[in-house]
Structure 1
Amino acid sequence: MTQTEILPDVPVREFDVDAELDALAKRYSGASGVGMKVLGVLGMPVSGLLKSLPNDVQDGLGSATEVALMQAVKWADGSRGVIKDQPDWVNASITAALGAAGGVGGVTSSLAELPITVTVLLRAIQGVGAQYGFDPSHESVRFDCVRVLAANGPFEEDRGADLAMLEQRAGLAVGGTKWITNVIVPRLAPVLGQKLAAQMVPVIGAAAGAATNYAYTSYYQDIAHVHFGLRQLAVEADVSPQVLVDGMRRRLS
């Protein structure tokens, strides 16, 4: 970690690389567990989520995602000096309440709730980064926090595809808004579309909204723990990031 990336007064500790990778691989493998259980309770197959959305919502999903993400980046960064980071369970509870409110009114309220939920998700990811000693105000850490949102989402069973995301590092200063629009939005839009579809289940919209938001928050916090855990391990144990990701692949195969 560079001095500009790391938070002050973070102790350096000894690492057992194999044990750390075992723990991170276990967390990575279980990240979608809550999401898949939610789908089971709702009786909805993964493949049917996006198709169940109205056509106009499907067509506008990309632009809605871009607006939500741009607002979330601004609000999350601006709130750090005002609201302290919360424990994982608090973040999940907050988004569950937001999801319940969004699910009551169908498409309209669900779309209105989207930017607020994405903001809480991003703040939760930033909080995890800070737990591992990284400064969310630093450009490269801000990049990593947004990149976590490009993971597959809690309703996908194929976890291997996300390892490519864990291998890539850069800075928000490189690409900036264009990078968010061209790289992150196309990956995040269908994931958020699944969320909207799940919380718009007739009759139980509020309950579905709460459950899906809880699943999303749990999932992205787990992915953030894996992402920043690998970053911390690479630097403080002086191990190549590629070696660590290869070790993750072997444990997940």
Structure 2
Amino acid sequence: MAEIQRLLTEEDAAELRRARELLENPGLAARLVDQLGAPIEQGLQRLPQKWHREIGRISKTALGKAADAALFTLDDAPFRAPSPRWHQAAVAASGAVGGFFGLSALAVELPISTTIMLRSIIDIARSQGESISSPATKAACLEVFALGSTRQGTDDAAETGYYAARMALSGLVSEVGRAGASGAGSSASAALLALLRKVAERFGVAVTDKALAQLVPALGAIGGATINSIFITHFQDMATGHFLIRKLERKYGQAFIAEAYQALA
């Protein structure tokens, strides 16, 4: 580790440590339980089985609508400072409405909150020097929804690490970049749809945690706003870590940064 550290500037080493702290923190379910307490632990046992399938469908639809609405509505201005608090306030407002109407409002509320979150992720990517007109950057923004979305104890818990999660999506992310760069519209659309389907599998786990929390009657509209605030903060952290890593990879190379990241463990 000492040899690797010597090859990084002091600022870059600090950014790598910060990225790892963000990316390897507990997932959304742990954050919900930590901040909202015992009622959430009770809610984690109460979701009907049929809702798991429905949440998967809603998650995929929400990501598709978010990609259409958010990916092309920000200026391509690398290194512009992000506005996380504005996006947090907007998502909290949508959560308050969803919390008031309960779990049945998820199909309406989730596409709205997911679009706002994706705009925030794009905003963070731009602040780290990414060109948001690049197909590879658009794919990397969607990739964030698959990071930190798996609960411990599930069958794919071994894939919860940052680089393991990226590896699982690397082929699809690369395909989106290649198809977009070639200018073949049909190929790019097919590659993006394939990536959306894969990301939705992971994102659906986080959405399930959010839905479970909203099952707790005592939380109400205030709880819905709080849950959504935790929800977006989680993915803003994932985005910040992810795009810090990508910035360092552009400077030092992916293999070197991956080794330095693992050495921090």
- TM value normalised by structure 2: 0.76
Query: Which of 64, 70, 73 matches 2:64?
Result: 70
Counterpart of 1:112 in structure 2 is 108
Deviations 1:203-227 (A, max 9, x none): 3121221112111111111111111
How far, CA to CA, are the matches of 1:57 and 1:98 in structure 2?
21
Counterpart of 1:146 in structure 2 is 142
Deviations 1:108-157 (A, max 9, x none): 22321000001011111000000011122210000000001011239769
Structure 2: gaps spanning 5 or more residues: 1-8, 180-187
Aligned residue type for 1:219: H
Counterpart of 2:53 in structure 1 is 59
Instruction: Kindly indicate whether the alpha-carbon contact (under 8 Å) linking 2:92 and 2:224 is maintained by their aligned counterparts in 1.
Output: yes
Secondary structure of the residue that 1:170 maps to in structure 2?
helix
In the alignment, does 2:251 pair up with 1:245? no
How far, CA to CA, are the matches of 1:152 and 1:201 in structure 2?
23
Secondary structure of the residue that 2:234 maps to in structure 1?
helix
Change (3 A) 1:62 1:119: same
Counterpart of 2:183 in structure 1 is none
Change (3 A) 1:35 1:61: closer
In the alignment, does 2:166 pair up with 1:170? no
Aligned residue type for 2:256: V
Structure with bigger helix share is 2
Q: Which moved more, 1:97-106 or 1:169-178?
A: 169-178
Instruction: Kindly indicate whether the alpha-carbon contact (under 8 Å) linking 1:151 and 1:162 is maintained by their aligned counterparts in 2.
Output: yes
Q: What number of residue pairs does the alignment pair up? A: 232
Secondary structure of the residue that 1:226 maps to in structure 2?
helix
Aligned residue type for 2:97: A
- TM value normalised by structure 1: 0.80
How far, CA to CA, are the matches of 1:85 and 1:62 in structure 2?
34
Change (3 A) 1:230 1:125: same
How far, CA to CA, are the matches of 1:166 and 1:176 in structure 2?
16
Query: Which of 220, 223, 233 matches 2:235?
Result: 220
Give RMSD over aligned pairs.
2.8
Aligned residue type for 2:162: D
Instruction: Kindly indicate whether the alpha-carbon contact (under 8 Å) linking 1:102 and 1:206 is maintained by their aligned counterparts in 2.
Output: yes
How far, CA to CA, are the matches of 1:124 and 1:154 in structure 2?
21
Deviations 1:178-236 (A, max 9, x none): 2321x111111121111111123113121221112111111111111111111111223
Counterpart of 1:10 in structure 2 is none
How far, CA to CA, are the matches of 1:86 and 1:215 in structure 2?
18
How far, CA to CA, are the matches of 1:47 and 1:130 in structure 2?
39
Give the share of equivalent positions with the same residue, in percent: 22
Structure 1: gaps spanning 5 or more residues: 1-13
How far, CA to CA, are the matches of 2:234 and 2:199 in structure 1?
17
List aligned pairs for 1:31-50, cutoff 5 A: 32=27, 36-40=30-34, 41-44=36-39, 49=44
Q: Which runs of 4+ in 1 moved over 3 A?
A: 14-17, 29-32, 34-38, 44-48, 153-160, 166-169
How far, CA to CA, are the matches of 1:18 and 1:47 in structure 2?
41
